[in-house]
Amino acid sequence: MSATDDLLVEAERLAAELEGTDPPTLLDVRWRLAGAPGRDDYLAGHLPGAVFVDLDTALCGAPGPAGRHPLPEPVALEAALRAAGVRTGHPVVVYDGGDGMSAARAWWTLRWAGHRPVRLLHGGYPAWTAAGLPVSTDQPAPRPGDVTVRPGALPVLDAAAAARLAAGDGVLIDVRAAPRYRGEHEPIDPVAGHIPGAVNLPAPEYVAEGRFPAAEALRDRFVAAGVAAEAPVGAYCGSGVTAAQAVFALHLAGRPDAALYVGSWSNWVADPDRPVATEPTPDRSDA
């Protein structure tokens, strides 16, 4: 099994697995930062057997100084995953509306919680329907799972650790759009700019419409941003969702040590004493 097989599954292959005697557990994690709730999409049609899991309320903690999408309480996360039918050691596949962001955050959360056999449906729900595969409006009642949440299986950055990476202990990637990074535009958080020393690599530069390029292309793109093989690397965004997608891409590129700053910019600016930068991205290409 390749690293990609361990992380991604294509729609046709998933369809075949679902026909087996012990199919993977399907979690529908469709989500929008603004607009109609993802549950509405789920009710309109979903993969047969999929259970809806809400990113905001089940996979993240309550918004506050720790960020808009902080880590969940382990007990609450365990209860939500068990209610969705997640079983110890049993494969899980997560999918979203196609951009790969909320699915990547769900993937990251399960792996952080110690549940390794979880993959992302490449291309999400649109890839499934584009392949002509069946959808359902039934709402299954899964047998309760028995998964045990063991936090810490993936590395996490707090504000201090993120600052050290950005200052030269490694590379800290800001995956927000360039105008937000430069402080020219900030539609969500109360302060514009970025963590001093962070490099800007907007998400569309390494993933397009939820589709990831080959591992070699990803490695080249991250190297061009200054991610050296021997240097620690971490990622942040506005609230730790798009950055989880960056961590997923780094895993595909062979960097399973990549760390997520879960609180991201929404946590950073919660402390007015933390510095804010607006200068262009540092050149780390020869680092």
| Residue 182 pLDDT greater than 50, yes or no | yes
pLDDT at position 209: 84
Q: Provide the residue ranges of all domains of the chain, joining segments of one domain with +.
A: 3-130, 156-268
Among the CATH numbers 3.30.300.130, 3.40.50.2300, 3.40.250.10, 2.30.30.90, which is that of 3-130?
A: 3.40.250.10
| Residue 140 pLDDT greater than 90, yes or no | yes
Q: Given the residues 7, 237, 241, 250, select the one marked as catalytic.
A: 237
User: Is 60 noted as a catalytic residue in this protein?
Assistant: no
pLDDT at position 1: 44
pTM: 0.95
pLDDT band at residue 13 using 50, 70 and 90 as cut-offs: very high
Mean pLDDT on 19-35: 93
For the chain, what percent of residues have pLDDT higher than 90? 91
pLDDT band at residue 3 using 50, 70 and 90 as cut-offs: low
Question: Alpha-carbon distance 279 to 100, whole Å?
Answer: 29
In 113-241, which ranges are continuous DSSP H helix? 124-130, 159-164, 178-181, 215-224
Question: Alpha-carbon distance 92 to 135, whole Å?
Answer: 18
Model confidence over 204-262: pLDDT tens digits?
999 998 899 999 999 999 999 999 888 999 999 999 999 999 999 999 999 999 999 99
Handedness of CA 82, 105, 36, 76 (dihedral sign): positive
- Answer yes or no: same fold for 3-130 and 156-268: yes
pLDDT at position 287: 47
**What value does the mean pLDDT of the chain take?**
94
Topology given in CATH for the domain delimited by 156-268: Oxidized Rhodanese; domain 1 (3.40.250)
